[in-house]
Structure 1
Amino acid sequence: MFQYPVGRIVESERIAGFLRAVESWPAALVLDGEAGIGKSTVWEAGLQRAREAGMHVLSARAWGAESVRAWATVAELLADVTPDIVAELPEVQRGAVTGLLMRDRLDEPADQAPVANSQVLAAAMLSIIDALEQSAPVLIAIDDLQWLDPSSQAVIGFVARRVRRRTALLLTHRTDADAGHASTAWLHLDSVNGIQRMQLHPLTLGGLHEVIAQRLGRSFPRPTVVRIADVSGGNPFYALELARALGNQPLRSDTELPTSLAELVRLRVGALSDEVRAVLLVTASTSDPTVEMISAAMGASVERTVELLESSEGAGVVTVIGNRVRFNHPLLARGVYTDAEPRQRRQVHRRLADLVAETELRARHLALAATTADPVTLAALDQAAAVARHRGAPAEAAELLELAIGLGADSAQRRIQAADNHIRAGDTGTASSILAPAIERSAPGVTRSVAYLLRSAVLIHTQGYLRGIDDLQSALADASGDAMLTAFVRTMLAFAQVRADLYDEATANAREALAEAERLGVDQLISSALAVNAWIDCLCGRDYDRAAMRRALELEAVELDAPVTLSAGAINAVLLIWTGEVEDAAVQLQAVRDRLLDRGADTEMLWVSLNAVMLGILRGDYAAAAADARDTVERAERLGGAHVMSIALTMRGAVAAYTGDDEAARTDLRTALELANSCRSPYADLASALLAFLEVSVGAYEAALDTLEPMLRVFDTVPGAEFASKGYLPDAVEALVAVGRWEQAEPLAAALEDTGRRFHRPWQLAVGARCRSMVLLAAGKVVEAEAAAAEAMRHHQRLAMPFERARTQLVCAQIQRRRRRRRAAEAQFAEALGTFERLGAALWARRAEAGAGPVGVDADAGRALTGTERRIAELAASGLTNREMAAELYVSPKTVEAHLTQVYRKLGIRSRAELGRVMGRSAR
């Protein structure tokens, strides 16, 4: 049904040109093609050319290292690195690299094994590449990318997305219809032309996810989609059949293929003899099959084993290269395995358990050979799960623990460990289902408290803070006998409660958590409690204690792997953003970013990336904000859940709104708002505020007020006028003034100025004075308005927010026009225009440009047109339709219609004929 194009050999001259280009930009060349067309030969030629050119070469062959042999390809790449470079790495990274290269240490007890994960190794590789690039370009070369193990893929994908200069990837990829294939959706480079490839591939992971969602009307957790992709080889037909058969069950190693796919496999292998199928079963049962291993498991000679394998090779089932044996498509391996009798599979695994030495492989084989929970198998599984967790392979650790549970060794502790690993792997649905029995069967106490705590993290992640609060309160009740756990849970509960607008409860819990932490005398616990108290004080409209925040930073144990949401450094960075100290915030946030990167905490980088978006916007660095927004969406898609996706789309929509991409902003922000409302996320207000900002940007003030109406309705019930809770106020004031409701805008402006004066907030003082100026101008008090605008500009001098300053300059220019100071007005418009153009704020640049023209149709404040309204009025008067005007101005027809409604109201007219006469008089 699906035909895949055949690849072609890449000429060596093409490689030479590719390698030369590495000097100026990061690049990747993927050599796609079917078996036997010479990919590996070209790959070797590329390595030779790179070495002749003096490049640093890190090369590896991805020979079948599957999930239970994590890091195989990364270890081979790092083996080419000189010891002196490894010695210069940060301690955590150096330990991870050293531990990986000394593989015999991986079987040590969990408390002695080197702690590593994909993020740490990825951070280490980036550090190594940075060091190598100082002397020459770097080539990362991997042969047969389709066999890359998931853990190595995570590391290499991380590195590929973040290299900045003079680094190239040379990859071969087998994509013929009968060969193994793995999605390359994880491979990204910043350069537009960074990746060169020769042919189309089967669907990517994201493509498969979209196809499954569209055809079946449901989504699967990312780990499940990854496994579907692995088994289907990216073939959408195979993937849909697998997804239909799964229902709500996870895809396990023994999950049977649906009938349609099983028949396809049987057509290929059904004609083979029983002896050949027995050899294939052994091959399908091990992660890294070799001729010698298969021979030993079969109890046959190597010669006979080779003879049997060659029979299946001739049938197009496997390929033998050297002593390595590979199925030509993962679907064939899965079909051979699941089609065998359970008794046959157990016998094979029993033999293989005696042949392998690696802890995880042996434990897996023992478990798959067992029918009861014997102590030897359980001990092996527990040890293997600990090793997998320390090696940063949580999905594999969870599966090993679930094998133990499936054998009858079902305990609350194993379920908690398995759930924790599933959460780290991004499979929150499975984590929740595993935790439910642990909670139901456990007696009140510490164990059940931890289970509730874990489930609260799942609920907050997927359904928002309110759903998670119930479990946190249950965790708090069960933790009463453990003072440290009680203080930790109470701190988490306070953080969640304030995000759910439960201000009094959050304050009480935060104060109690701090008191308990002080009694215990645990520095990290005190640091987190102090930071969360400052966070809550700010959101509750109180000034936070700067001295206490400094103490929190001093006590923070940055070397510990504490949640970023309880990190004093991370919370301080966000507080600095909220209080308008954006330059200091940038320094603090970069320190948090560096710290997380050094220890490879990639998942927790979501906190950094989403806050970095707003910081970039406020500082006027829209390019950085856009990059962080892409990063936020990428991480959210990887993690899943309505809450986190609402955050990510809000951030991406924010960048689109400020850069003037009207359509993209509306799409993202409306979707974000829908998701946020579905889980009662606090980011619903931010998405609404940004939609209102977009409407103000295009002059659709009634639409802006409609969007803001729910927040304005509860204005008095939300304490304070902080940026985090009431950042929408400047847009609300401008919209109210524009539609003639300036009396309603007055208390909003007063609230901003009051907060600014009481807490010395530069943002509130600057925008508050600007808002007061607009209200005074609308009331006809031009002199007072001019004084307020001048005061706003003085406050802007200590506020590093160029967009806000330029926006205030537009108000200053309008005041100068009202006072008939044409040159002064045009100078202000021109300066604001220059700032908006430099920032890339297209909609506001058009407003500034339109404002620099004639004074306006009517000098009366209540009827004066904005720049955008005047432009639309002129176009309408010239005879253009709404759709034609929308195309001219790069906005939607509905936006044009909203503007025309405002124009008619302000000018006191009802038709385009009247508009033509009015605009004609204005032109004279």
Structure 2
Amino acid sequence: MTLDGTVLVGRRKELRRLVSTVTRPPAVVVVEGEAGIGKTRLVTEMAVHPELAGRLLLTGACRRIREPFPLGPVVEALRGTGAALATAALSPVAGALRGLLPELTAVLPPALEPLDDRAAERHRLFRGLADVLDALGPAVLIVEDLHWADDQTIEFLGYLLAVAPASVSLVLTYRGEEATAGIREVTGRPADSVVREHLVLEPLDAEQTRALAASILQEEGITTEFGTHLYTLSSGLPLALQELLALLRSRGALIRLRGGRWARRALEELDVPPGVRDSVRERVARLPEEARAVAEAAAVLQVPVAVPALREVAGLARKEAVAGLDELLVAGLLSERDGLVAFRHVLAAQAVYGGIPLGRRQDLHERASAAMRAVEPVPLGQLAHHLRHAGLLPEWAGVAERAAEQASALGDDAEAVRILEDVLRSAPLEPERRGGLAVRLGWAAAQVLRPPEVVDLLSDALESAARGLQRGQLNFLISMLRERLGGDPAVQRRSLAAAVEDLGERPDLAAWVMAALGRPMDPSVPVAEHARWLDRALETVPAIGDPVAEVFVLGKVAMSLSCIGDPRWAALTVDIQRRTGDRPRHRQEVNAYRSISENAYCAGHFEIADQLLAAATLGAAEDDEPLARCRLVGLLLAYGWGRWEGLDLEVAELLEEYGGRPFDRITAETVAACLALARGDLDTARRDLPDVVRRTITLGGYELLPLSVTALLRLTGEPGGARAALEVWNTKGLWPPAVRVLPALTAAMAATGGHDEAAALVARLSVTLDGLDAPLAAAALPHARALLSGDAREFAAAADAYDRLGAPYEAAQAREQAAEVLFAAQDPDADASLRAAHVTYLELGARWDLDRAAQTARRYGVAVKARHPGGPSGYGPALSPRELQVAELAAAGLTNREIGKELFLSPKTVEKHLSAALRKLGLRSRAALGGSGALNGGSAP
């Protein structure tokens, strides 16, 4: 029985929404539903809808058995577009696709020079794919079964939805119960310009089930009683209903009486097993023997295959195989597309597979593995799958290892991690081989944005590893992964110390470990020991021999030196800039610039931090992971410089992006909690600040700690919140960055009866910091002294020093406190000092401070400007300063990514500002910005 020709039942509303959305590109429609609910049928109906005439439909599907080859469904969708691209104007970057799509070589631009970094290659590949899709427009890219997608496919779809080619729409289908958080995140947060629709398909109700049954049987006489019975048996699942009716027809149990009614006796005798599984198995059991053999072979193979492979696995002669295949095609269980054959629906394949006895199943998998070895090139993912399920575990491990190598070579580290983890958990391996695979797993996991929990596998391999390079790498990788997963710094340090002596033949790794041991992360280790490790790392650098690796280690050393106030960090930074021509190009060079920038900011060197971060961001332009880490440092700089507009959006994005990386995420959490206090969201600040302080100490982020401790002290006025931090800073000698906290700590101590203790601390730190590279001390020490003495001149000196550093928020606080002292002394300069603080708070959107300063102004009769009703975003129809910046850069022709690099924002945040600007200006596209003249004055027409 064929199922073609049935009408679409119960999905008219969803079809209208689907068609309406995809015809308004850029757009994305997610079609979600359980297996057999009709996702593919709905998309098929969309494809033939008259409103889609003239649009190119590109279809690809994700497979349960994945190959270690990225972007499979996208490649499938584009493979046959050569004719359409023959006359298209493609940018040179599309040449990056030649290796991925050899079928399109004749129409693609020349190949590009290879890049030294796989992540950069991947980003360039994404750009090329987006360019090709845009050139094919108007087009609809359909990706089915996204729940089986590889990580690079998901990453590319996220990229595509961020850059949003104007002529392309996406239709993505997945099973909701199997969709990961990453899939939902990508599909749930496209750029603002993308029209989005999410369709969740529900089971049919009883009446809809009856109507679909009538369509399948091509009979109108389906009674309500019989329809209800079918609904009960199928649970409203279209595929289950189709299979049930096919089974009943094959049994001859569909007896129709005169008048078009079904006999009561027939209903009682149906005894149809519920669900798809039993009905499919019974249908197959009723088929001829050769058809059953072909069905079992197709169920084992799972993916569409050529007929010769299907015949080989079934173990049939050609004539028998053809007869069996034809039987299944006519019955509608299998379907053919482009010469490849597979089950029409995966549920039917699973039903047949589950009914094959274990011994026969393993035999079929072994035959399938032999068939896969004959394919050119060998599909390693399928071969590994069949070997494993055939019980041939040693052979499986070898093929899986080759698949992981292929995935890594193609830059798909997440897939390599998945394969290697599976092998290490399931395959019988000799200790030496286990150790080698564990090392490869560790390096691949270290490249993934959200590292998996695989430390246990590396630790197991470490137990049997002999002294030498393998053991050294395992210890190092265990420490690295524990850091990224938020582990105990003391445990990380023990692993690093154990690694050093085993890495003698790899000076690059040995120096890296030494630099890591020099980072002040363990609270019990004095700073002198860290300094010794940093010196050892510097001594080892000349032996490395690789200029890029040398810069990387020098960056690690300079980063730590800046935290302890050792002025050598500046000379090392100059050396790094000289070595790289002030332009980092490799990922390790970008890391060096970014690391120094972060700690330079924490130590108070705002300007050099800004310069280094700008260079790092430019160097990471083609590499999303380092770019995201640059954006984390950008949060700190934006907070310190007072560039707060749009910062909430950027913080929210990075909190989500780094959900699985506690050590990195703490930066965004710190800025979020500090902003909450400044914005006047005191409930959030009270909830988050103590937790952020505690976890920053636990994670060993001591250079970052002064920000959250300062905010907590200002909020509570209780010095107890800083006790644990003080112990760490005293032990580690980290007062160059920690002196930032001194004014808030002094105020809290003095307010709670600790005036003398506070004075002693200020005096001690004045001596401790003398001679160290600690620019924050020039502002924080006079600020603290002023809080103890009430000397307005000290407050003014502190404010001026903060201004020189580029710290407007702290300068405003010092001026506000100076005004209080001047008002008490009836000094006429008080008004000007308070107004200056008030203006800064107003510009920043620091509502908590603004309200306090306004109360002081009212108390003393000082006229100050009222704040915008909505805070910093209350610009009404006028463009905010950030919106104006973004709009001007867009008008100059910069892309969202280029604007993001310029302003240290993500493309999504840029898109939000640009959309707001276009809406206020009454414009429909960024192209209209250039000639509209509306940007003059930054207001709406």
| Same fold by TM-score greater than 0.5 | yes
Q: How does 1:794-833 map to 2 (within 5 A)?
A: 794-821=800-827, 824-833=829-838
8 Å CA contact 1:8–1:37 kept in 2: the answer is no
Q: Any idea what SS the aligned residue of 2:185 has? A: coil
8 Å CA contact 1:116–1:390 kept in 2: the answer is no
For 2:302 and 2:589, locate their aligned partners in 1 and report how far apart those are by CA, in whole Å: 35
Query: Structure 1 491/321 Cα, relative in aligned 2: closer, same or farther at 3 Å?
Result: same
For 1:447 and 1:791, locate their aligned partners in 2 and report how far apart those are by CA, in whole Å: 57
Aligned to 1:271: 282
For 1:199 and 1:418, locate their aligned partners in 2 and report how far apart those are by CA, in whole Å: 38
How far 1:195 moved relative to its partner?
Answer: 5.3
For 2:599 and 2:179, locate their aligned partners in 1 and report how far apart those are by CA, in whole Å: 53
Q: How does 1:85-164 map to 2 (within 5 A)?
A: 88-89=92-93, 95=96, 97-102=97-102, 120-122=121-123, 124-126=125-127, 129=130, 141-144=141-144, 146=146, 149-160=149-160, 162-163=162-163
Aligned to 1:743: 756
How far 1:175 moved relative to its partner?
Answer: 6.0
Q: Any idea what SS the aligned residue of 1:357 has? A: coil
8 Å CA contact 1:701–1:735 kept in 2: the answer is yes
For 2:421 and 2:103, locate their aligned partners in 1 and report how far apart those are by CA, in whole Å: 25
Aligned to 1:288: 303
How far 1:662 moved relative to its partner?
Answer: 2.6
Query: Structure 1 18/436 Cα, relative in aligned 2: closer, same or farther at 3 Å?
Result: closer
8 Å CA contact 1:669–1:688 kept in 2: the answer is no
1:849 counterpart (846, 854, 861): 854
Query: Structure 1 814/522 Cα, relative in aligned 2: closer, same or farther at 3 Å?
Result: same
How far 1:541 moved relative to its partner?
Answer: 3.2
Aligned to 1:626: 648
Query: Structure 1 319/838 Cα, relative in aligned 2: closer, same or farther at 3 Å?
Result: farther
Q: Any idea what SS the aligned residue of 2:805 has? A: coil
Kindly provide the CA deviation profile for residues 279-316 of structure 1, in whole angstroms up to 9, marking residues without a partner as x. 55544444632473545533454563253366574xxx
Q: How does 1:475-494 map to 2 (within 5 A)?
A: 475-480=499-504, 482-494=506-518
For 1:269 and 1:179, locate their aligned partners in 2 and report how far apart those are by CA, in whole Å: 26
Aligned to 2:230: none
Aligned to 2:680: 660
Kindly provide the CA deviation profile for residues 539-577 of structure 1, in whole angstroms up to 9, marking residues without a partner as x. 22333342222112333595545497xx32122222331
Amino acid at match of 2:457: I
Aligned to 1:769: 782
Kindly provide the CA deviation profile for residues 195-245 of structure 1, in whole angstroms up to 9, marking residues without a partner as x. 53253479xxxxxxxxxxxxxxxxxxxxxxxxxxxxxxxx9xxxxxxxxxx
**TM-score relative to the length of structure 1:** 0.69
How far 1:585 moved relative to its partner?
Answer: 2.5
How far 1:342 moved relative to its partner?
Answer: 4.0
8 Å CA contact 2:73–2:143 kept in 1: the answer is no
Query: Structure 1 759/508 Cα, relative in aligned 2: closer, same or farther at 3 Å?
Result: closer
8 Å CA contact 1:180–1:329 kept in 2: the answer is no
For 1:114 and 1:380, locate their aligned partners in 2 and report how far apart those are by CA, in whole Å: 28
Q: Any idea what SS the aligned residue of 1:727 has? A: helix
Aligned to 2:792: 786
For 2:359 and 2:669, locate their aligned partners in 1 and report how far apart those are by CA, in whole Å: 50
Amino acid at match of 1:842: R
8 Å CA contact 1:160–1:187 kept in 2: the answer is no
Kindly provide the CA deviation profile for residues 120-142 of structure 1, in whole angstroms up to 9, marking residues without a partner as x. 43454347758998x99986632
For 2:70 and 2:650, locate their aligned partners in 1 and report how far apart those are by CA, in whole Å: 29
1:461 aligns with 2:484: yes
1:432 aligns with 2:455: yes
1:364 counterpart (377, 384, 403): 384
How far 1:512 moved relative to its partner?
Answer: 1.2
RMSD of the TM alignment (CA)?
Answer: 4.7
8 Å CA contact 1:15–1:46 kept in 2: the answer is no
8 Å CA contact 2:783–2:794 kept in 1: the answer is yes
Q: Any idea what SS the aligned residue of 1:99 has? A: coil
For 1:60 and 1:581, locate their aligned partners in 2 and report how far apart those are by CA, in whole Å: 53
2:634 counterpart (606, 612, 615): 612
Query: Structure 1 501/536 Cα, relative in aligned 2: closer, same or farther at 3 Å?
Result: farther
How far 1:37 moved relative to its partner?
Answer: 5.5
How far 1:113 moved relative to its partner?
Answer: 11
Query: Structure 1 751/630 Cα, relative in aligned 2: closer, same or farther at 3 Å?
Result: farther
Q: How does 1:113-262 map to 2 (within 5 A)?
A: 120-122=121-123, 124-126=125-127, 129=130, 141-144=141-144, 146=146, 149-160=149-160, 162-163=162-163, 166=166, 169-173=169-173, 183-189=183-189, 194=194, 196-200=196-200
For 2:54 and 2:807, locate their aligned partners in 1 and report how far apart those are by CA, in whole Å: 47
Q: Any idea what SS the aligned residue of 1:197 has? A: strand
1:389 counterpart (408, 421, 437): 408
For 2:178 and 2:592, locate their aligned partners in 1 and report how far apart those are by CA, in whole Å: 54
Query: Structure 1 628/333 Cα, relative in aligned 2: closer, same or farther at 3 Å?
Result: farther
For 2:146 and 2:565, locate their aligned partners in 1 and report how far apart those are by CA, in whole Å: 55
How far 1:466 moved relative to its partner?
Answer: 1.5
- More divergent stretch after superposition (285-294 vs 790-799): 285-294
8 Å CA contact 1:672–1:684 kept in 2: the answer is no
The count of aligned residue pairs is 749
Amino acid at match of 1:450: Q
Q: Any idea what SS the aligned residue of 1:798 has? A: helix
Query: Structure 1 721/373 Cα, relative in aligned 2: closer, same or farther at 3 Å?
Result: closer
8 Å CA contact 1:490–1:509 kept in 2: the answer is yes
Amino acid at match of 1:835: T
Amino acid at match of 1:732: L
Rg bigger for which structure? Answer: 2
8 Å CA contact 1:9–1:37 kept in 2: the answer is no
Aligned to 1:681: 699
Query: Structure 1 45/273 Cα, relative in aligned 2: closer, same or farther at 3 Å?
Result: closer
Q: How does 1:15-94 map to 2 (within 5 A)?
A: 28-30=28-30, 34-35=38-39, 38-42=42-46, 48=52, 59-62=58-61, 64=63, 67-68=66-67, 69-75=69-75, 88-89=92-93
How far 1:18 moved relative to its partner?
Answer: 7.1
Kindly provide the CA deviation profile for residues 68-125 of structure 1, in whole angstroms up to 9, marking residues without a partner as x. 1531233356666789987644xxx965x332223899xxxxxx99998677434543
For 1:526 and 1:178, locate their aligned partners in 2 and report how far apart those are by CA, in whole Å: 45
Query: Structure 1 184/746 Cα, relative in aligned 2: closer, same or farther at 3 Å?
Result: same
> Percent identity, aligned pairs only?
18
8 Å CA contact 2:21–2:195 kept in 1: the answer is no
Q: Any idea what SS the aligned residue of 2:699 has? A: coil
**TM-score relative to the length of structure 2:** 0.68
For 1:537 and 1:176, locate their aligned partners in 2 and report how far apart those are by CA, in whole Å: 50
Q: Any idea what SS the aligned residue of 1:392 has? A: coil
For 1:622 and 1:729, locate their aligned partners in 2 and report how far apart those are by CA, in whole Å: 24
Amino acid at match of 1:67: R
- More divergent stretch after superposition (342-351 vs 115-124): 115-124
**Can you give the 5+ residue segments of structure 1 that lack an aligned partner in the other structure?**
52-56, 106-111, 203-234, 236-261, 778-784, 857-924
Query: Structure 1 647/384 Cα, relative in aligned 2: closer, same or farther at 3 Å?
Result: same
8 Å CA contact 2:484–2:664 kept in 1: the answer is yes
Q: Any idea what SS the aligned residue of 2:98 has? A: helix
For 1:47 and 1:71, locate their aligned partners in 2 and report how far apart those are by CA, in whole Å: 29
For 1:180 and 1:805, locate their aligned partners in 2 and report how far apart those are by CA, in whole Å: 46
For 2:575 and 2:408, locate their aligned partners in 1 and report how far apart those are by CA, in whole Å: 34
8 Å CA contact 1:74–1:152 kept in 2: the answer is no
8 Å CA contact 1:720–1:755 kept in 2: the answer is no
8 Å CA contact 2:526–2:733 kept in 1: the answer is no
1:509 aligns with 2:533: yes
Aligned to 1:864: none
